[in-house]
Structure 1
């Protein structure tokens, strides 16, 4: 007689609690159990989970479990994938699960075959155990918003198979980046809103497979390494809001797969380089709160995938290029706080039916509107419309 070795019940509209007497725990030959994306009504993960000693895959993510993660999970020594992320209160968005520091240490020490450890939004409230660096098979480590603090073990960056590392939104977590070597397979490195500091090493260019790099809102300092130009697989790059010593954008342009480029508040100087026009996949561009000068390039209107442009509070001058009206998917355009000048026809923005957030305030523009009353049918449904100090004669909407 055969045995059930896999149970796939993700996104199955399950509701209610699972108690330790459930017939589920009689399936002692299970190797895979997936209960993700259901609603277990704030119940605890039953300690009877220990009845699955053969389990290699356990996914209880996004299923409204709450309370302490039972220590019995650390007894499942054959686990290669453990996912407990995103068990959130549907109203507050806060994590519901807690993992006692001693249980966290036991889990990492006992589950030596782990390839994926996903604990985002699990309230751990401890330091990262050094023994994580001994998990040589680990490919994915997700610890977002877990209340971790203290210094992150730098040896984790050298794990031979690690492709994804996220410790975002742990503001009391400190650490620094090592010198990287050619063999690192890292594809996603997400450190945003932590207290990581020090320099971005020039050797970051050796992360040749990297497609996501987010170190925004950290405490990095020193120069922006020009070697970032060599990360040509990048799709997501955010360096905003650190303590970098500034510099130009001369290193931007070779990363032609980028869809998001966020470089706000980085003390950038010089003009917007023509090489940025090579980023034809770009949908989000943020260069706000820098010291950029010169005109807004007309070729920006050729980046047809753009949905958001933030050039707020720089020193840009000249006119607003009419070519921006070619960006039919644009929903946000923030140009306020520059030195832009010249006459600007408001009608060019009416062509952009997806544009809901427009900021032109505090420039030297003369905004022209047609003498006839503009009707609700032609004005997009702006959620934000900033036109302060635009030398307008009249503006009527009916």
Structure 2
């Protein structure tokens, strides 16, 4: 017979493992289990299809609430609740203004259930130990996902064969199947946060587990450079990492730190200058397809968005070939909300959510300033800078980057809460 204390400890361990499994399930579900498992078409296809992770988020939220008998709301709760109220109201507008079917509108909103994971992860992160476990889970997930994507890129470029389960949406690989290409979108959301988490653990200084952090970091960087290949994404990452290092080492300036900063600056210069020049060349080249579509989309949406200022055009995109499809996507069907940053937010969700988005960025920085732990402050600022630097090109309200916003809110909330607890306990 087990004593009461032994039963209590046994239940506690089971309780902890269950919570850990819920978080792990969420992290691997975002990439549809590293894109290894074939899923029904409703959940599969392009990487930006986040229907599956939306439903998994709902399940994880309910499961965590049943297990813990509580849900921690944190400092972003009002912003998230406002977003849900807006989406509900916008759904009514879409229904009666554009005559979309109720099922189509509601199905299209499933990815936004991902915000429930903000509450779920907050409930899991109740102390420093749980945060370390969370970071470790992120690192292992990053290692497996990055290896899968890098191997797929190698196999595709050599043999033009896809063994992972996602649809190629990038023009270069889709229409030039005999050429070497890139997989745009598969690394957009989770990896951009995971690379900062890995760098945070490298900066932490503890040798235990640093090998995993370094492996995760190098693989994530390789993924961003070779798999995604987005110039803006690479620039965002370098800038965020650079500021993280400066903030973490602010009070530890010595010869080693100065040398590291010089080397970092030199490498950043080598990487960034060609990228900046390439972007400028693209902007100056009116015949460049992506540049033409982005600039055209901004002018197109701004020309009539005043008629939909408070509602936006909605999140639902009708079937190709319909008049409503060409109204939203432009006459040529080439304009996308997710190519133009906050202009896309304004076009799809209106002025209220544009203001909401800017308030989230401001809140990120305000909370980051309040964090006392040097490395946690560096991580929070890295996350905030990553979001800010993508404001004109990569909105975190785009489907593939919703997880970026959820993890940014969650991590900054935890770090700020811990600092507040330490102040009161001190």
User: Is the shorter-chain TM-score for this pair beyond 0.5, marking a shared fold?
Assistant: no
More relative contact order in 1 or in 2 (CA 8 Å, sep 6+)?
A: 2
TM-score (norm 2): 0.20
TM-score (norm 1): 0.21
Pick the structure with greater CA Rg: 1
Point out the structure with the larger helix share. Answer: 2
Point out the structure with the larger strand share. Answer: 1
